[in-house]
Amino acid sequence: MKKNKSISLAIISLLVLSALAITYIPTMMPSALAVSVSHSVSMSPMTKTLDTLPKDVDYWVNVTSTGTDYINKTCIKLPTGWTNTTALAAPSGWTLGVYDGWANFTTTATNFKTGAIVNFSIPVTISMIPTVGTWKIYCYRGTTQSATNPVTITVTVKLQFSSTMSPNYVKNGTSYIYTVTTTNDASAVGIKQVNITFPAGVWTFNELVDYSPETWTVSFDLVSTFKLTGPNILIGKSVTIKVNMTAPAGAMAGEYYWNASAWNANDQYLGKYSIKAVVDSSKPTVTFDAPVVGNYTVGFGNYIWMNVTVVDTPSIETYGITVAINDTAKFQLYPTKPSEKVSSTEYKYFFVNKTAIADGKLTVKVTATDPAGNIGTAVKSIAVDNTAPKQLWVKVMDATGTPAELPYVGGIFWMGGTTTKIQVNATFYNPAGFTGTISLNTTSASFPNGTLWPTAGFDVTGSDYVKLNITLVDGALPNANKFTKVWEIKRDKVKPSAPTYTAEPICGGVVIRQINATDNVGVLGYRIYTNTTHWDVTLTDLNSATMKTVSGGITFSGALVLNLTTFAGKVVNLTIYTIDFGANPSNPTTYLLSIPKGMWYPIVLYKDWNLISLPLVPANTTIQGVLSLSLKSGLLVSVWHYDAETKSWHSYAPGAPPDLTTMVDGKGYFVKMTAYNVLIIQGTEQPAPPATPRVYHVVPGWNLIGYKEIVTMNASTYLSGVDTIRIYKFNASTQTYENVFPSTNMVPGLGYWIAVKTEGWIYP
């Protein structure tokens, strides 16, 4: 994979589909390989403990030729910071060339092959501890290099003691409690003094926090050194000091060394152990390399690259850095190659989405945090667009008069017989924007999103067929998405059939059931006239699965109940026309109906239990008469009432011998249903004269009462003549009881449990 990730997204996206299976190939490869030239290396000493510093150490680099071709050149790269001594010499038959950090040996002999061993003596001077030295050994036959170049060997050099410090990577201008621990690793006689020295001017001392063991003493020279003395600490034991220090805001960032010097019990100086500490004054910088498009992009195959460059000092290579994206639900570091080193202070990181991302605005934030806690961020906002412009709606309007939407049935827009002009109202959405054309037959224009077109209307006089075409292209890059579709617009000239139906007069209204008609295209709905007033009801409203209020009344499951209170006690002319999708009316079907005096009220019944009451004084109190106005039949399970005066229950179930024969106002009834239904209650608000207005008796204890009103009223007003203790209603939609408070409104059609202290009367 190429190092520059900010290439075009098309190429990047294609890479995602294949690169997961491809291992990253470094850009630097050997110029030539000869499998017959190879070598292995061993060294001694691998570990060295020194008694003091600086110290000269002799290392033996033992090179074995493991190939069949001979080796005539060996180049040894010394560890960084180590220097060779003047005692450096070449083995017999070899010549030596010494360069900065390199020892290069050559020979004219051809016998260094097939298991032969040459030992190279490399004396070095070591001045700083701790040291882990990495040696690199290269071998060649002429210009042909060994297949194993380079062989890397790491050796360790240490003193009789070691020292650690935490934290050792800090921010400028921040105070920390530093813990410095010095351990006796190898001094058999013990260590009795340790001096801890920090770089003066880079850190300032605030206070001594703690030290251990307490048998030791600690002093500070007020410049840069803490002196710790006490009884000998033996091998494996440590002395620790905790100090509050500040790296001033003005201190230069970089690598510094705290030093721990130690003396043993014989006052012998054991050397100086250097502890690297880093001061970091700057936060990382984060820059997005991809996506390169500012406003939107397309992830081919739903893949999107989020590539960033992070720059930080000191060295990222040495000290590391944490880079994370905020939206881990969508993105992850590219598994095969999450990052790429540009330099020791600059790295590139590659995030790719791990799931498909829906179209719309996408904002991601990448955060880089260095070991000191400095934080750098960058935010990228784009619009993801992998799909063609999305159709929100396409409407064809009858613009003959006030624009009205034409019905869309069977994939066709249907014009009425009187339609002379049409307009199109179409709205599409796309995050990257779009352009396009719209046409009606051969008349076309630039597509106007969400606007009626043509402005003056498209003339369809004498035309029964029109073709609508919309073609749109979005602005997504690198590959635009296209939408194109053709719709047909036809004229419906055929009248629907006259409707058939049944009409049942009720107090102040009529129940219309089983309305039916046919049409060559489809029935849109019905137009209902009562004398000079008319209403339209659509099939959608008429067939509502729950009760729906419509102009003139309610609908539910194919039944229509009209409110005709103005015709109560009179004869009404009920006429119904069928209306088709071309707005063509059928021939009428007419009935003359005598509307009884009074009014009606609908009660919604939910599946399972309902607690209801009659909000009107019923004209027919038989239980069958009251229940006969259920708009759907066969759904009733049972009806129950509690008689508080006899403290007994009475019930009714279809087909069973009843002991509940009437349903009257003022009482509450539990009604159990197998499904949702609507019950129409008809009657009067009060009985006709000379009967007295209603009054209901309650007794001490629980009473199952009704609420005989067609408007809401708070409980304290309705029950003002009763010494009420508690009131409950039953929520049929949740099948739970709920408290009713004095200020709570009581609802028409609901029944209530009330507990009263003394006998009383309810005057509705």
Mean pLDDT of 589-613: 97
SS (H, E, C) 647-676: CEEEEECCCCCCCCCECCCCECEEEEECCC
On the 0-12 / 13-18 / 19+ scale of CB atoms within 10 A, 15 is buried
Per-residue confidence (pLDDT) for residue 532, from 0 to 100: 79
Residue 26 has pLDDT above 70, yes or no: no
The 10s digit of each residue's pLDDT in 693-745 is: 999 999 999 999 999 999 999 999 999 989 999 999 999 999 999 999 999 99
The 10s digit of each residue's pLDDT in 86-106 is: 778 899 999 998 888 899 999
Mean pLDDT of 3-17: 33
Residue 21 has pLDDT above 80, yes or no: no
What pTM, to 2 d.p., does this model score?
A: 0.51
Q: Nearest CA to 326 among 386, 393, 375?
A: 375
Mean pLDDT of 566-591: 93
On whether the CB atoms of residues 762 and 722 are closer than 8 A, the answer is yes
Sorted by sequence, the CB contacts under 8 Å of residue 55 that are 6+ apart come out as 125, 126
Per-residue confidence (pLDDT) for residue 14, from 0 to 100: 31
Reduced to 3 states, what is the DSSP secondary structure of residue 15? Answer: helix
Report the C-alpha gap between 142 and 147 in whole angstroms. Answer: 14
Q: Which range among 167-176, 255-264, 597-606 has the greatest average pLDDT?
A: 597-606
66: DSSP letter: -
Q: Which range among 8-17, 45-54, 582-591 has the greatest average pLDDT?
A: 582-591
721: DSSP letter: T
Q: Nearest CA to 708 among 677, 757, 747?
A: 747
Mean pLDDT of 499-508: 97
Q: How many CB atoms lie within 10 A of CB 350?
A: 21
The 10s digit of each residue's pLDDT in 516-536 is: 999 988 898 999 999 878 999
Least confident of 206-210, 407-411, 418-422: 407-411
Per-residue confidence (pLDDT) for residue 25, from 0 to 100: 23
Going by pLDDT thresholds of 50, 70 and 90, the confidence category of residue 85 is confident
For tokens 């690297």, the residue is 276
Round the average pLDDT of the chain to a whole number and report it. 90
The 10s digit of each residue's pLDDT in 204-230 is: 999 999 999 999 999 999 999 999 999
378 Ramachandran zone, left/alpha/beta (phi>0; psi -120 to 50): beta
Structure tokens given for 202: 């880079």
Least confident of 19-23, 55-59, 420-424, 591-595: 19-23
Report the C-alpha gap between 276 and 259 in whole angstroms. Answer: 9
Mean pLDDT of 268-283: 90
Half-sphere exposure of 691 (CA within 13 A, CB side): 9
Going by pLDDT thresholds of 50, 70 and 90, the confidence category of residue 335 is very high
Q: Which domains does the chain have, with CATH numbers?
A: 39-159 (2.60.40.1510), 161-280 (2.60.40.740), 285-384 (2.60.40.10), 390-488 (no CATH), 500-596 (2.60.40.10), 601-762 (no CATH)
Gyration radius from the chain CA atoms:
47
Per-residue confidence (pLDDT) for residue 294, from 0 to 100: 66
Residue 544 has pLDDT above 90, yes or no: yes
On the 0-12 / 13-18 / 19+ scale of CB atoms within 10 A, 150 is middle
Omega of the bond prior to 658 within 30 degrees of 0, cis? no
Structure tokens given for 420: 């002379």
The 10s digit of each residue's pLDDT in 104-159 is: 999 999 999 999 999 999 999 887 777 888 999 999 999 999 999 999 999 998 89
Structure tokens given for 221: 């020279």
